[in-house]
Structure 1
Amino acid sequence: MKKAASLILFMLMASPALAQDMLGKYCVLTESEWSECIELNTGGACRIVTEVWEATDGSGPRKDYDRKETTCSYEVRGGQVLLTHHGVTEALKADFYDWKEELLDGWSPGLKPVEPRAEKSVLSSRVYWKEPMDELRVSEPPRR
């Protein structure tokens, strides 16, 4: 009985630490004309920020710039982040992902929507890489 109680206490103490590790900004790597990030904040608050603009010649100001912010909440459950917005809950798997999908080398921490996705999903099906992407990239994923 003492062992079970100790295990439960340890798990409860570990949950905030795991949630603490998840804090931060996660962004889809895009070529141009749009970006999307998920920001996980303390206390289970989050937001999804999507920006879209028209292509421009050169480095001038963005044309027809549109920024949309969706407030959300989240909880960390095991290796998943359950993100809730507009009454819809979406599961994202927290893991180290291979950059080969983006035609780059290395591995980085990120979030990826679990399939099948929610019917009213507002998220991209691609990996949301934890920022700062380049500094967090490693040559191989950590051993478990």
Structure 2
Amino acid sequence: MAENKTKPTEKSPADFIEAVEPEWKREDAKTVCALMERLSGEKPKMWGPSMIGFGQYHYKYESGREGDMLLTGFSPRKTALTLYVMGGFKQRPELMERLGKYKTGKSCLYVKRLSDIDMDVLEELIAADLAYMRANYDTA
């Protein structure tokens, strides 16, 4: 069975964030990092070369494939700040309506700038997702 390529590393999240350009994107990354650390109660950890994660959970698919993944996290990518909302968005339409300007993938929330969204709603979304993940998965 294929091994999960996204794993925790020993790379420093703070050093990674300090290298983010431009400065406004670095400041957005610092803000999200502090928010996720506060909400999760977990210290940031690099997952692969560019994802910053907080905590982890164990998943197991019906196919038998299983592994560990970050509980919540983000990556300050070139085109957008990508936030990982592992439980998805379908169960929270009222929050998504109030969030602001964004795009989504299956578990990814893409935001150009934090100034495009309502930070209080983002906090509610992350907190609700953490509660969902902890209630439905084996978390560490």
TM-score (norm 1): 0.28
- Whichever of the two has the greater Rg, that structure is 1
Q: Report 1 or 2 for greater relative contact order, CA contacts < 8 Å, sequence distance ≥ 6.
A: 2
TM-score (norm 2): 0.28
Indicate the structure with greater helix content: 2
